[in-house]
Amino acid sequence: SQTIHQWPATLVQPVGSPLSLECTVEGTSNPNLYWYRQAAGRGLQLLFYSVGIGQISSEVPQNLSASRPQDRQFILSSKKLLLSDSGFYLCAGGTYGYTFGSGTRLTVV
């Protein structure tokens, strides 16, 4: 069965520092992959999705970017973090419906 691996689980970063969150997929190939952000007590906002290597679609303008260097790897990045980037980041996707990773709780201080 497909599994989404995501790390780190928690991260505290200063304002202006870079960010790189990695998501990898196991148990399937050619998955659609998604990055969501969940602010405290809020819903799941779709940030980026990818249907294949090098293919990225952005849902909302923001301070973040995404890349898909390999079929089973999806990376969320920022060159300079803002306070408003704090939140719970979830990678999701797969070939057979949606599977979520365990999430990264990012606090920008």
Query: Which residues of this protein are in contact with another protein, per CB under 8 A?
Result: 32, 34, 36, 42-44, 46, 49, 59, 90, 92, 94-98, 100-103, 105
d(CA 105, CA 109): 13
Shortest reach from residue 15's CB to another protein, in Å: 24
Shortest reach from residue 107's CB to another protein, in Å: 13
Q: What are the residues facing 78 on neighbouring strands?
A: 19
Give whichever of 75 and 89 is closer to another protein, judged by the CB atom.
Answer: 89
Give whichever of 17 and 30 is closer to another protein, judged by the CB atom.
Answer: 30
What is the DSSP track for 26-64? ES-SS-EEEEEEE-TT--EEEEEEEEETTEEEESS--S-
Verify cis geometry, omega within 30 degrees of 0, for the bond prior to 14: no
Give whichever of 17 and 57 is closer to another protein, judged by the CB atom.
Answer: 57
